[in-house]
Structure formats: C-alpha cells, structure tokens
Amino acid sequence: MAMTEGDPWFARPTGDLLGFTTGAAAAGVRDGTPTRLDVALIVSDRPCYAGGVFTTNQVIAAPCVVTRRHLERGPLRAIVVNSGNANACTGEQGERDAIAMAKAAADKIGCDLHEIAVASTGVIGVALPIERITSAIASIDLRSDGWDDVARAMMTTDTRPKLSRHDCVLGWAGASGTIHVRGVAKGAGMIHPNMATMLAFVLTDAVVGANLTGLTRSFAAESFNRISIDGDTSTNDTLLLLANGASGLKAEGKDRYGVQDALFRTCDELAQEILADGEGVTRVFKVVVRNAASDEEAMLAARAITTSNLVKTAIHGADPNWGRIIAAAGRSGAKVDQTRAAIRIGDVNVFESGAPCAFDKARMREIFTEPGLRIRIELGVGKGKAEAWGTDLSEEYVRINADYTT
C-alpha cells in the first residue's frame, strides 16, 4: 500500500535528487526534425548499484543486449538514451553503435564504458545515425534540473513527458533525513504486460543494497507488467533502477519499507502515466479478478480481458457487453465456474450465477462517462485474486499506427 501523509515515512517532494545530473540534446535522429530533443543523459557523480528488467520478446534490440552485459559487470554511472530509432534488428552494426553510444557517454563523464546503460526507442530495422548521436552526447549540458528535457527527448508517439518524484523520511535505523526518488519514462503504444515499448528509469540517492535486480523485478510485476494498451511487446523494453547512496541514508530495518514504497510508487505512477497517454486512448479501465483458483490464474484472466480487442472496442463504444468479458476470461486458461461466476461494471451487477442481470441502462451510461472505469469478475472456483489495467481501442489508434513506419 502506498504511503499517505499520515505515514511515518511520508515527505512532500522538495529537494533535488542528490548526486545526479541530467540533460538532453538534438541529434536529428528523425529526418526533418533537426531541433527536436532526441538524445539524453542521466549521470551519477559516483557508481550506482543498479537493477534492470528487459523485454520478454525473443527479438532483443542491441541496447538491451549491451546494457544487460554492463549490468553483469557491476555498478553503473550513467544512462544514455535516444528516441526516433530503436536500433533493433540492425545486425552487428547495431551492437557496435550501442557500444559507441556508451563510449561517447563514458568519455564525456570520465568513466569506463561498461558503467553506461544504453537505451533506444523508435523505428525498428534502421541503422542509427551514430555520428550525429555521439556528437550530440558530447554537447549535452548536464544540470540538476534537466529532467523535463530528458523526458521529452525519450518521447516517440507520446503526447506528453512522463515524470514522477517521491521523497521519504528516514530515521528508524539511526541517522535521520530525507531520501529522494525520481523517475522518468516513455511509452504510448506497444504496451503489454511483461514489459513493452517502454523505457523507465528510476533513481534514488538512498543507500540501497547491491541486489537491486530482485527489487526491480518485483516493482515491474506490480506496476508496468499489469498494464496493456495494445497487446504488443517491443524489442526494446527497459526498466532500470539506480541507487547512488549520495544522501548517506541507509535503507535498513524499518526504513527499508519506506524506501521500497517510494520506489514502487514512482514505478506505479509512471505506469499509470503511460497507460493514460496510450495511442488513441479515450478510456482507461481496471479489471479486478476474484475467486480464481490461484493468483496466477486470476492474472491470466485479467490479462485476457484487458487485451481482448472485443472488450476494448466495447469499452470505447460505452457498450456494457459483459459476454465479451466472460468469454475472454473463459479462454484465458483460468478455471471458471460459470454457475458461480459474477461480473460487475462500476457498481452495477450485469451477470451472476450463470445468468444475466437486469440493470439500469441510464446508470450504466453514467458509469462509462466517469473516470476510473472498473470491471470486477468473480470466477467462482477459489480465493485467487489479481488486478490489471487496460485501455479502449479507438479509430485514432489505427490511424496513428497506420501512418507510423515500423
């Protein structure tokens, strides 16, 4: 559960994230956009413990390959990212270009290239204009307040930058003070559970232990992996968590729960920002599954519902077509006892004990105009539960992706 103002660790975000600087530049990665920010750097003034989660797609972009390798070597100092070109399916040259980006960043800040994480997003199958990118990296003006520029440089079909910040008061384990967490992300299409065309970087100045990969996986499972826009999984998905310890405050004892909560809230807020900014999205909906055989089966059903094109188009049309919902759950692989199953849209029961329910159509129309549309389905076989989020599917989504070269 996220912290609120009454919790002992809660702090309103105020100060700067200690020990990190950021900046962006225009490399002209996209033809015809020479002044658009498209290359960015996030730099720590000291080595960071780091964790990462990457695409589950079997076709993996060169930046993910290189960054995984660098994470295995040890701490990181910086993240370099470009938009407009995914550097995916670009052969051996693609990996050389990803390494060249790392080297340019390393040369700029004075560290080993293995201390650099690399990320890219954009069109697949086109070689990077690597000379322009490395030149832009060298020109970046690093400063403490460059987060908005970084977020804008990461954007592709996004309509707005995605940023999150949370602070946390420590003091249970000894020295007291405030640690800071900042997050930046991009994503609007090809968003599907298990990481999708999504880049997200979460940074903290807390002193956190070396095993951040486990934490990163846990945060991904509870935030980014629970959202879906179009059911497509990208070649470039990357979630990175970096902790540089510049605050000198340790996440120990009870304090570690506060730090972990601040980190999770940052991930969750970024995930919801991505969902709300989905390509052509007019409605976001939450699916709550209860009484499944297990939590795993509950998630199977939740994901099947959020990714069903028939459900998504019904949501877009404000059509309470519960038949599509029960059908999606039934094909998900989760056990369903239709004689005990139930479906509620908003606060209205539409299906119960194997039969439809009469409902007030005027109230249902109101529900579809209210923010935070919620669908609850009970499978009637156990105590498993899960939640996931999805979006509608609109004509605008088709237009955007029909015109976007991939």
Indicate which CATH number applies to the domain containing 292. Answer: 3.10.20.340
Q: Which of 285, 332, 292 is nearest to 312 (CA)?
A: 285
Residue at 336 is within a domain: yes
Check whether residue 235 and residue 303 sit in a common domain: no
Residue at 163 is within a domain: yes
For residue 255, the surrounding DSSP H or E stretch is: helix 255-276
* Per-residue pLDDT reduced to its tens digit, 138-190: 999 999 999 999 999 999 878 889 999 999 988 755 567 899 999 999 986 54
User: Does residue 9 surpass a pLDDT of 70?
Assistant: no
Distance (Å) of CA 51 to CA 5, 55, 237, 251? 29, 14, 14, 16
Check whether residue 182 and residue 294 sit in a common domain: no
**What are 136's two structure tokens?**
């832009």
CATH number for 248? 3.60.70.12
* Per-residue pLDDT reduced to its tens digit, 29-53: 987 778 999 999 999 999 999 999 9
121: Cβ–Cβ under 8 A, 6 or more apart, which residues? 81, 82, 83, 84, 86, 154, 156, 186, 197, 199, 234, 236
Residue at 365 is within a domain: yes
**What are 27's two structure tokens?**
């490399």
The pLDDT confidence band at residue 3, using thresholds 50, 70 and 90, is very low
Q: Average model confidence (pLDDT) for the chain? A: 89
Check whether residue 24 and residue 151 sit in a common domain: yes
Check whether residue 300 and residue 258 sit in a common domain: no
User: Does residue 1 surpass a pLDDT of 50?
Assistant: no
Check whether residue 183 and residue 271 sit in a common domain: yes
Residue at 111 is within a domain: yes
Asked if 387 and 286 touch (Cβ cutoff 8 Å), the reply is: yes
Average pLDDT value for residue range 235-261: 90
Check whether residue 368 and residue 269 sit in a common domain: no
Check whether residue 163 and residue 21 sit in a common domain: yes
pLDDT, residue 394, reads 82
Q: Which of 337, 307, 335, 305 is nearest to 323 (CA)?
A: 305
Distance of CA 33 to the CA centre of its chain: 26
Residue at 184 is within a domain: yes
Domain boundary, last residue among 239, 260, 276: 276
Per the annotation, the verdict on 307 as an active-site residue is: no
Check whether residue 261 and residue 294 sit in a common domain: no
**What are 37's two structure tokens?**
């920010």
* CB neighbour class for 93 (10 Å; exposed up to 12, middle 13-18, buried from 19): middle
- Please, where are the H alpha helices in 80-161? 91-109, 130-139, 147-153
User: Does residue 192 surpass a pLDDT of 60?
Assistant: no
Asked if 127 and 90 touch (Cβ cutoff 8 Å), the reply is: yes
For residue 265, the surrounding DSSP H or E stretch is: helix 255-276
User: Does residue 83 surpass a pLDDT of 60?
Assistant: yes
Q: Give CA–CA dist 100/105, Å, rounded.
A: 9
Check whether residue 312 and residue 271 sit in a common domain: no
* Angle value at C-alpha 369, between 326 and 187, nearest 5 degrees: 75
Q: Can you give the residue range of the structural domain that contains 96?
A: 10-276
Q: Give CA–CA dist 92/90, Å, rounded.
A: 7
Check whether residue 16 and residue 132 sit in a common domain: yes
Check whether residue 137 and residue 21 sit in a common domain: yes
Check whether residue 69 and residue 169 sit in a common domain: yes
Q: Which of 147, 67, 148, 157 is nearest to 121 (CA)?
A: 157
Which is higher by pLDDT, 162 or 274? Answer: 162
Q: Which of 16, 21, 25 is nearest to 42 (CA)?
A: 21
Q: Which of 197, 266, 306, 307 is catalytic?
A: 197
pLDDT, residue 109, reads 98
Residue at 2 is within a domain: no
Tally of structural domains, the chain: 2
For residue 309, the surrounding DSSP H or E stretch is: helix 309-316
Domain boundary, last residue among 215, 245, 276: 276
Domain boundary, last residue among 253, 276, 299: 276
- Residue 101, classed as helix, strand or coil, is helix
Average pLDDT value for residue range 216-227: 83
